[in-house]
Amino acid sequence: MIEIRPVKIQDANELLDLDIRNRTLFETYSAADRKNADYQLYNYRKNIDKQLQDMKNDDGYHYVIVQIEENKIIGTIDLFAVVRHNIQSCMMGYALDQAYNGKGITTYAAKEVIKIAFNELGFHRVEAGVQPTNIGSVKVLEKAGMIREGLNRANVRINGEWKDHYLYAIVNENF
């Protein structure tokens, strides 16, 4: 069973461990340009402090994916790039421990966070970008009800190389 909950400062150790275990996978698809020195507990606490401030300021919303039986953080899912006023949109991004891939966990988490975005946070639109080669993530977005709207060519630099991304979105029809 899986739980989605807001990140807490006490999660820093587990998030550091998660990222170290999955460093190769995460750095393949993430725009975060990390160096060895970034993988320190101090930096994770500082990042969580910023995430907590983001949530207070309506600048972003940051959640962890918890495997309840093991009481273990196995992933993260975030709403970021918040735009309010006449737009009311945000981007969604996620990362899951490779050991748990292929079990529907990320799809479940995406559906839950989309519900939160629409029902609790008042967003009209949630977007996500995914590299065309990341077939698992493409499936997650489609199973979560998102629609592919186009291709953003060379729009994100990952490991020094510009990568194409499909743009997916879902609109709150009740907004």
Task: Tell me which H or E stretch contains 114.
Answer: helix 105-115
Tens of pLDDT, residue by residue over 48-99, are 999 999 999 999 999 999 999 999 999 999 999 999 999 999 999 999 999 9
The model carries a pTM of 0.92
**What pLDDT sits at residue 94?**
96
**How far are the Cα atoms of 59, 62, 66, 91, 98 from residue 8, in angstroms, in the given order?**
17, 9, 12, 21, 22
Decide if pLDDT at 175 tops 60: no
Residue 101 backbone phi and psi in degrees, to 5: -65, 150
Decide if pLDDT at 28 tops 90: no
Sorted by where each starts, the structural domains of the chain and their CATH numbers stand as: 2-171 (3.40.630.30)
Decide if pLDDT at 25 tops 80: no
Decide if pLDDT at 30 tops 90: no
Tens of pLDDT, residue by residue over 3-17, are 999 999 999 999 999
Residue 73 backbone phi and psi in degrees, to 5: -75, 125
The amino acid that residue 19 corresponds to is D
Beta strands in the chain (DSSP E): 2-6, 61-67, 72-83, 89-96, 125-130, 147-158, 161-171
Give the bridge partners for 167, in sequence order: 129, 150
Tens of pLDDT, residue by residue over 145-169, are 999 999 999 998 888 889 999 999 9
Q: Quote the tokens at residue 75.
A: 């992933």
